[in-house]
Amino acid sequence: MVRVPMLKGERTDRIEALSDGVFAIVLTLLVLQFTVPDVPANRAGTELAGALADQLALLFSYLLSFFVVGIYWIVHHNLFRQIDRHDRLLLYLNLVFLLAVSFLPFPTELLGVYSTRLTWTLYALNVSLVGLVLTTLWWYADRRGFTIDAIDERTGALITLRGLIPPAVFLLSIGVAAVNLSVAFYVPFLILPLQAFWVRRYQSSEPRPEAE
């Protein structure tokens, strides 16, 4: 039988190259939402400061998105250090992940300009999607055995579940925004302590085969 190339591969370097490109561009495009204010040249000395201060609101969503994208680059970087094979579905999952990442500049600017329940909801949905798709990708790669040998079953599951915490927290923040929008902005800070707590609890409940 003619074996049509099966889109299975031994290496993931071009997946990483495309992803690094998208990450780098998204990180850099975020700054484009800031615009040089239009004040009369002869009054720039006095009026420019005020005009720039009006854009301070953009800074919160800019920094949040920069670190969300940056941290997901770190997570992607680490997951793909564990993944050394791929199939066609993994390529598609990575593409959907990049779709979610590359869409983020739009809700970021939206949130920077209008701080409403709607813009936070769109923003949090987008960030949740980023996390959910990457966790799905990892779960799939782990289940199909595309990971390097060093990853045992328990560690694979731990990483999967840890990866669900950020999307869960962002989805929670949408509910919080329905009650109090200002509080919702602080909900994402729950992510790091929750992940640390989860990893600790998981480790302490471990079977410990050699001990006893």
**Minimum CB distance to a second copy smaller for 7 or for 183:** 7
Under the binding rule (CB under 8 A), the answer on residue 197 touching a second copy is: no
Under the binding rule (CB under 8 A), the answer on residue 154 touching a second copy is: yes
Helix (H) or strand (E) holding 188: none
Q: Select from 121, 72, 80 the least CA-distant residue to 100.
A: 72
Under the binding rule (CB under 8 A), the answer on residue 1 touching a second copy is: yes
**Residue corresponding to tokens 């990866």:** 163
Under the binding rule (CB under 8 A), the answer on residue 34 touching a second copy is: yes
Under the binding rule (CB under 8 A), the answer on residue 3 touching a second copy is: yes
**Minimum CB distance to a second copy smaller for 65 or for 173:** 65
Smallest gap from residue 144 Cβ to a second copy (A): 18
Under the binding rule (CB under 8 A), the answer on residue 137 touching a second copy is: no
Smallest gap from residue 120 Cβ to a second copy (A): 12
Angstrom CA distances, 92 to 8, 144, 148, 206, 212, stand at 12, 15, 21, 34, 46
Smallest gap from residue 212 Cβ to a second copy (A): 15
Q: Pick one of 61, 105, 124, 127: the residue that binds a second copy (CB under 8 A).
A: 105
Under the binding rule (CB under 8 A), the answer on residue 206 touching a second copy is: yes
**Minimum CB distance to a second copy smaller for 162 or for 176:** 162
Q: Torsion over CA of 4, 6, 10 and 15, rounded to 10 degrees? A: 120
DSSP single-letter state for residue 6: -
DSSP single-letter state for residue 180: -
**Minimum CB distance to a second copy smaller for 51 or for 172:** 51
Under the binding rule (CB under 8 A), the answer on residue 100 touching a second copy is: no
Query: What size, in residues, is the chain?
Result: 212
Under the binding rule (CB under 8 A), the answer on residue 189 touching a second copy is: no
DSSP single-letter state for residue 147: B
User: Do residues 114 and 179 touch, judged by C-beta distance below 8 A?
Assistant: no
- φ/ψ of 180, rounded to 5, equals -145, 110
Under the binding rule (CB under 8 A), the answer on residue 18 touching a second copy is: yes
Tokens of 200: 């600790």
Under the binding rule (CB under 8 A), the answer on residue 23 touching a second copy is: yes
